[in-house]
């Protein structure tokens, strides 16, 4: 008995010689096509989409400008007191870390 490669069309299996006239198989996606698609870059951190612990952890690594942006977004959206209560402390730490020679006296 000869081997036939069955073709499935809308869930129905056909032998190649029994395929309806005019049928064209759908284009296949090759690995090359898939690998050329660029992932979308992530947008800016959204504090409303994260829990309190995640926001605080992010703020530890963010620079002063980003921390200010995130804290302002938090104040405009969820306004969680756990995060906003630490606003001054967080921003003061960022200002101190940003100045390389502050706090010292010349002389």
Q: What's the confidence (pLDDT) of residue 67?
A: 93
Chain CA centroid to CA 36, Å:
19
So where are the chain's domains? 51-98
pTM over 0.85: no
Q: What's the confidence (pLDDT) of residue 102?
A: 46
107 residues of the chain, pLDDT tens digit each: 566 688 888 888 888 888 888 888 777 766 655 555 566 667 889 999 899 999 999 999 999 999 999 999 999 999 999 999 999 999 999 887 755 444 444 44
Q: What's the confidence (pLDDT) of residue 103?
A: 46
The phi, psi pair for 101, rounded to 5°, reads -125, 15
């Amino acid at each position: 008995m000869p081997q036939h490669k069955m073709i499935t069309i809308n869930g129905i299996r056909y032998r190649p010689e029994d395929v309806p006239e005019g049928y064209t198989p759908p284009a296949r996606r090759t690995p090359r096509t898939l690998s050329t698609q660029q992932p979308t870059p992530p947008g800016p951190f959204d504090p409303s989409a994260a829990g309190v612990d995640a926001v605080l952890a992010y703020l530890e690594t963010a620079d002063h400008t980003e921390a200010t942006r995130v804290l302002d977004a938090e104040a405009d959206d969820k306004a969680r007191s756990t995060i906003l209560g630490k606003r001054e402390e967080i921003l003061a730490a960022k200002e101190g870390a940003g100045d390389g020679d502050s706090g010292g006296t010349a002389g």
